[in-house]
Structures are given as structure tokens and as C-alpha cells.
Structure 1
Amino acid sequence: MGSVTTTEPAVPDDRDAPAQPATEWVLALSCPDRPGIVHAVAGMLAAHDGNITESQQFGDPASGLFFMRVQVATTAGRAELEAALGPVAAEFGMTWSLDVVGRPMRTLILVSRAAHCLVDLLYRERYQDMPIDVVGVAGNHRDLQDLAAFYGKPFHHIPVTPDTKAVAESRLRDLVDELDVELVVLARYMQILSDDLCRDLAGRVINIHHSFLPSFKGARPYAQAHDRGVKLIGATSHYVTGDLDEGPIIEQDVERVDHSHAVADLVALGEDVERRTLARAVRWHAEHRVLLDGHRTVVFR
């Protein structure tokens, strides 16, 4: 009688399964300072196969707050990480955000007539990996409409007069909602936002002021600086609040000048300072490197 050979079905070997690709996340948080915060956060991430690739922290003795920014590579998804972070955040009273590293932030740029800051941001988005997705440009004048079109950006003309300011702001609110805007950048937008709009978009609106705040607030700062005979001019990028030019400062830069420079020279030099100062502030915000500390900021560069 012949023998019968049977073949057992193959048992899947987990070692043969393709490895799940890791995603790099950025976690930014603040909370009252106390022992054990770093240990708790790092332990939670390690428990979910997290490999920390970058970590920065700062405890502010003046405010009593602790700030931390962590980049971590893990196969865990958002829901899993958020569920694990919940108890830790509750224990320490954390304010936090979690995002994928490098995800372009949906951005609306507001302009008037000056082009230098808009050109710089659109160029950096296209050619220098600025982590923003400019979903629209809105202006109270049409001067920069062709520039927006050159970069393939929709332009929204929203004229503003004393009689139409409320209507214009209502349209801006609609744009923010319709375009799912995460960040609004005032790229030399020469209009003052209302207190209500500033409160509603708190921490989401970045302005560039063409002077080294807190000096020379308001209109014509270069003329003010020239009149005072300054030896340095500067620019300040800050979050917008209801108090004009008083919001938390993100970045500042300066340029040396002397008695031979006319107001027009200061303006020309200042435009270069403005564009690079604004670009750094926008990049750091989009990379979740800026955390609010009352009326100040903590910037993890």
C-alpha cells in the first residue's frame, strides 16, 4: 500500500510581514512646571514605540510654566497617540497640540499694496519648503492680484472703508471658514483688525510691523525713526491682539544705519528686514516652535 504525504498549511510568520512605516509627529505643550513632566511624556511615547528625534524644553520661573516641543517617529496613529496623551495631559494640566512634522499649514495672506513680504512668502513656499499651503490671498486693493495669479493663488478683493469695515471683516471670517484656514498672515496689510476678530483668531494671526517694537508704533515708523536719528532700524513679527502693535513678539531683526540715510533709504533697507523677519516667524509657527507665555513667547529654534 502506498504512503500518503500530506502538506500542512503554511503558518504566517510575522517576521515576513512588511514593517509599518513610521510617521514623525511633533508634540508641543505647556503646563504648570513641576517634577516628572519630561519623564511622563517620554515614557508615554516610548510605550507606543516612539523614537524621539528632537526634544526641547524650557521652564519659565517668572510665569511658573513649563514648555516642551518633541518630535517623535512612531508607527502609532493620531487616535492612539491622542488617547495615550489624554491622561498625561489631564494629570499635568497641559495645553498641547499634535501634528505631523512638515505638514503644510493652511494659510491666508492679507495684503494691501506693498509686495515684498507676499513675494517672499510665496517664493519660500514654492522653492524653499516653507511648511505652509497658501490657500488664498486677500487684499483691500487689487495691486497684487497679478502677483497672486503668477503663483497660482486665488485673489479675493475685499475693499475696506470706514463705512464697510464690518462687512469686510465678515467676508474675512467667511474666507477663514470656507478655506479651512489655520493661519492668517498680515503681509503689510494696512488695516487694523477689530477686537472681536483678534479674540476669535487669537494665536493664529501673525503681523509684520516695520519697526523694532515697542519703539515707533503706529503709522510712518521709518519717518519717526529718521526724525529721532536712530542708528538701527528693525522689524518685528508678532501675534495680533486687540491692542495695536502690542501682541506677543515672535521674531525681530535689525539693520545698521547712519546720518547719511534718508527716509527712502530706511524704507528700502527696512523692506529686506521685514520680509526675512516675517518669514522666520511664519516658518517657526508652522513648525509648532512658538508657544505662548502670557504676553511673551517661547520660541524653540
Structure 2
Amino acid sequence: MKPLTPTSNKWADKANHNRARMLISCPDQPGIVAAVSKFLHQHDANIVQSDQYTMDPEGGMFFIRIEFDLPELEFKLNALKEDFAVVADQFQMDWRISLAPKKQKLAIFVSKEDHCLLELLWQWQAGDLYADIEMVISNHPDMRELVESFGIPYHHIPVTADTKAEAEAMQLEVTHGKVDTIILARYMQIISPKFLQFYKNRIINIHHSFLPAFVGGKPYAQAFNRGVKIIGATAHYVTEELDGGPIIEQDVQRVSHRDTVDELKRIGRHIERIVLARAVSWHVEDRILVHENKTVVFN
């Protein structure tokens, strides 16, 4: 069977090769927007989109995301960054500039459930997910044929309590330097602190509850036992705190006392796949700024 590939022209008109994104977080004070706008104007850049948010105009944090066009940007990018460092130091900015057309490289981790994986594969194949899926890694062999039908490499790395350290070493060997972000698409393993240090704020997990409710295992059973009337799903960055990292996206759906645990799972699968796909899309489009244990999402 011929491998499936992304629709080649889906993003062709959207990928302006002279476009970049600037993301900034810093203590709020007067003059930030003016300084950034003046800098870009002085460097012949044209701002095409700007979003900003302040936690508190007096003593809070300020966040801004700017998209701009600059002719021959790829050749000017390093000099632009060097020059902007002066402005950044003045305002104590945490900042980054990235090329909009440059696709992030993703690795998807999965166990036995395929619904979140399939949603990402379908969106990637349709050209709706602007990224390159470099590989899928699983602790089970079940989805090899499915993944390889998309022309994507599949790595089966078994994990047990006794072999977890060795398995993570193998995962790092195949991902380190090859991917920008890791997606846990119902990967039913806890990621160790040692692994996390290589991908800070670059591992996205989907948890099958509306966090902070029902942390940990079997959240649908927990929800059923509690008699909830709404269930949900949460996409978040992974930290050392179990299911406690910065939340990117959430959604919910109403349920009733008539729904069994299996029915809650069925309803939840749809929520999970949509929530995770949104979070991944916003991440690869540089729409998320992390501050402490929160996110600011410009969508």
C-alpha cells in the first residue's frame, strides 16, 4: 500500500517565507508595545498581527505575541535577534523569535488506545496540523501497521517497572535532537524527571478528566462514582507533578445518571481527541506562553 502523505498544498498559501513570530513575557510597565513596534519598524518589518495580555497593569506580568513580515528574513534573523536583545534587557523580557514557515518536528507516544493518535494523523494528513510527525513510539506493538500506513516510523519500546529507566534511555536515543515536541496521546506511563529535563514545556499530555478533578488513573470510574453531570478532558504540559502541569486546553460535555462507565469513556474519547488536537495546533503555531504553572494562549 502506498504510504499516506500530508496534502502538499494545504498550507502553501499560508506559509509566508518572510513571516516570523515574536513571543514576549515580562514585568508590565509603560512603553513595552511602543518599544517593540519601534524596533520592528526601524528594521523594516511590517506587523501583521498582534495580541497582548496583562495580568495586572501595576506589578503584573505582560504577554505579547506578534507576527511580522520582513523581506529576506531568513538571512536577517540572527542579526535581528542580536539587536533585539538590547530592547529585551531594558524590559527584562523572556522572549523568542521563530520563523513561521518552519515546521516543528513531533514524536507521538501512545499505548493501546488509538483515538487521539488517529485524530493527529488525520489532521496531519489533511494538512490541518502544520508540523512534521517524525515518529510514533509505543510500549505496545498494536498500532505499527496503522502508523506505517501513513509512512511514519514506528518504534516499539516495551516498558515495565523493572525496565523503565532502560526504556526511557532508548526513547531519548531515538528522539533527542530529532524532535522538538513530544505528544502523549493516551500514553499510559508516567514520565520520569530525568526525561522531562530534556523537554521542558515541550511534552503535551491529554488527561481524560476536567483537571484538577480526578487526577491519576481511572478518572471515568472516579467520575461515575462521584455522580458528576459533566465530564471533560484536559491537555497540559507535563511536569513532575502528576497531571499538574500548565493547562493548555479543556472541554466538557454533559452526562447523566444513566451513563455507565463505558458510556462515559465513549463520550470522553471524542472530547479527548479534539482537546489534544487543539493544544498541539496552538503549540506548533507558537500561540502559548507559559508563566509559572499557567498558560496564556493567544488563539
Using structure 2 for the length normalisation, give the TM-score: 0.90
Structure 2 distance, partners of 1:37, 1:178, is 35
Residue 176 of structure 2 aligns to a residue whose secondary structure is helix
Q: What is the match of residue 64 of structure 2?
A: 68
Residue 49 of structure 1 aligns to a residue whose secondary structure is coil
Determine which of 188, 200, 206 is the counterpart of 1:208.
206
Q: Which runs of 5+ in 2 are unaligned?
A: 1-15
Structure 1 distance, partners of 2:97, 2:105, is 16
Cα displacement (A) at 1:249: 0.3
State the one-letter code of the partner of 1:226: F
Q: What is the match of residue 95 of structure 2?
A: 96
Structure 2 distance, partners of 1:130, 1:168, is 29
State the one-letter code of the partner of 1:29: I
State the one-letter code of the partner of 1:266: L
Q: After the TM superposition, which segments of 4 or more aligned residues of structure 1 sit over 4 Å from their partners?
A: none
Q: Which runs of 5+ in 1 are unaligned?
A: 1-20
Q: What is the match of residue 35 of structure 1?
A: 30
Q: How many residues are matched? A: 280
Residue 192 of structure 1 aligns to a residue whose secondary structure is coil
Using structure 1 for the length normalisation, give the TM-score: 0.90
Residue 226 of structure 1 aligns to a residue whose secondary structure is helix
Cα displacement (A) at 1:188: 0.2
Structure 2 distance, partners of 1:262, 1:202, is 38
The answer as to 2:144 corresponding to 1:148 is: no
> What is the correspondence of 1:141-290 to structure 2 with a 5 Å cutoff?
141-179=140-178, 181-290=179-288
State the one-letter code of the partner of 1:48: H
Residue 108 of structure 2 aligns to a residue whose secondary structure is strand
Cα displacement (A) at 1:199: 3.0
- Shift of the 73–92 alpha-carbon distance from structure 1 to 2, 3 Å rule, reads same
Q: Percent identity?
A: 45
Cα displacement (A) at 1:92: 1.3
The answer as to 2:51 corresponding to 1:51 is: no
- Shift of the 100–188 alpha-carbon distance from structure 1 to 2, 3 Å rule, reads same
Which digits, 9 at most, give the CA deviation of each residue in 1:150-209, with x for residues without a partner? 111000111100111000111111122252x11000000000011222233110000000
Greater C-alpha Rg: 1
Q: CA RMSD in A?
A: 1.4
